[in-house]
């Protein structure tokens, strides 16, 4: 088990180094930040002085290793646009994104699993067929279109919910802010959370349904019914527990996808999170902000994937037996 964890950690570090290298290389082709930082009347001397001040005159390997050295220490440099520490800007924006991702993830997992189990148990019922047909909307429609449709219906036509912004927030501690404690904050969270979590919810629902139907056809389920166990005990104690083994991996990856794809939802609803910050950074070629965002998303993806791999070993006893026997 320890060797498995060490191997996975080593692979995760290698992935992060490769992602950092690819991302940092791409930024060389998005434009020159000097053009946005200096006015039209700049001189060649001004350009060279600012380029040297920012370290952009150094060779690419030197810039990359300086970036990695700072990133390990939590120092991503200074924003070219705002002139502030990137880590300080991210701390201001992170609560909005994490709050949105948390609510979306809880909705996607809870509703997805419940609907998946229901449509598997009642697979021949009219309600299950309606739910499966409706789930095609969440799978097929792009996120930005879902957001626009929700804004049009609930904000423009009905006027029930706000169409943009985070509403009023309350500060907790030095850097955390939340909208849970205000009515306007809770209302502002509803549409973005549904938009962001709808695709993941339908994906989890269809996966749970497929896996549970497969489990319900197994011999040990027939044996449990033959023993006279109640249908509830068969479905939820035996079938659901074995259904969740492969689903856990997908849920873990979808949690990472929620944070990564929040960039689209935040743009549609002008949600003041790190995703919207990244879009603005692209427009102004703010390389430190872009690099920090991609590295943080990579760390979250890799970290969640690592936790899922470890959790998978504890959930599935067969993997523990294989690793104990040396068959990795």
Candidates 3.90.1200.10, 2.170.190.11, 1.10.3720.10, 1.10.10.10; CATH matching 86-283: 1.10.3720.10
Q: What is the pLDDT of residue 104?
A: 92
Interval 176-231: pLDDT, tens: 888 888 888 899 999 999 999 888 899 889 888 888 888 888 887 788 778 777 87
Cβ-proximal residues to 304 (8 Å cutoff; 6+ apart), any chain:
252, 253, 255, 256
| Cα torsion through 303, 306, 307, 312, rounded to 10 | 160
Q: Where are the beta strands (DSSP E) in 145-220?
A: 170-172, 176-178
User: Using an 8 Å Cβ cutoff, are 164 and 270 in contact?
Assistant: yes
Residue 36 has a pLDDT of: 63
b (16+ CB within 10 A) / e for 198-221: bbbbbbbbbbbbbbbbebbeeeeb
Tell me what pLDDT residue 328 has.
43
- List the chain domain ranges: 2-68, 86-283
Q: What is the pTM of this model?
A: 0.79
Task: Establish how many alpha carbons lie within 13 A of residue 318's alpha carbon, considering only the half-sphere containing its beta carbon.
Answer: 3
Q: Which residues of the chain have a pLDDT value below 50?
A: 326-328
Cβ 275 vs Cβ 228: under 8 Å: no
Residue 179's closest CA among 256, 97, 265, 274? 97
The pLDDT of residue 29 is 66
Tell me what pLDDT residue 322 has: 53
The tokens describing 50, both together, are 């600012």
């Amino acid at each position: 088990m320890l060797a498995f964890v060490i191997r996975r950690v080593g692979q995760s570090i290698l992935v992060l180094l490769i992602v950092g290298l690819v991302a940092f290389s791409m930024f060389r082709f998005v434009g020159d930040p000097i053009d946005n930082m200096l006015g039209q009347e700049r001189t060649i001397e001004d350009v060279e002085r600012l380029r040297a001040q920012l370290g952009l005159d150094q060779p690419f390997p030197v810039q990359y290793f300086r970036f990695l050295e700072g990133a390990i220490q939590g120092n991503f440099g200074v924003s070219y646009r705002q002139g502030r520490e990137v880590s300080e800007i991210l701390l201001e924006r992170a609560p909005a994104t994490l709050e949105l991702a948390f609510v979306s993830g809880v909705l996607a997992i809870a509703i997805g699993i419940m609907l998946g189990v229901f449509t598997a148990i009642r697979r021949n019922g009219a309600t299950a067929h309606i739910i499966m047909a409706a789930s095609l909307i969440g799978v097929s429609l792009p996120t930005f279109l879902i957001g626009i449709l929700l804004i049009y219906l609930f904000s423009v036509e009905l006027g029930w919910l706000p169409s943009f912004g985070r509403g009023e927030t309350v500060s907790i501690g030095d850097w955390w802010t939340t909208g849970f404690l205000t009515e306007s904050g809770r209302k502002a969270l509803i549409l973005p959370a549904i938009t962001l979590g709808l695709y993941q919810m339908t994906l989890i629902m269809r996966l749970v349904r497929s896996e549970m139907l497969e489990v319900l056809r197994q011999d040990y389920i027939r044996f449990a019914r033959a023993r006279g166990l109640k249908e509830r005990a068969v479905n939820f104690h035996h079938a659901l527990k074995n259904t969740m083994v492969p689903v856990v991996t997908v849920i873990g990856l979808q949690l990472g996808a929620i944070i990564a794809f929040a960039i689209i939802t935040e743009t549609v609803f002008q949600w003041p999170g790190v995703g919207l910050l990244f879009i603005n950074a692209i427009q102004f070629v703010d390389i430190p902000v872009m690099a920090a965002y991609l590295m943080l998303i990579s760390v979250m993806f890799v970290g969640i994937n690592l936790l899922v791999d470890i959790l998978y070993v504890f959930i599935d006893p067969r993997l523990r037996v294989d690793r104990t026997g040396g068959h990795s």
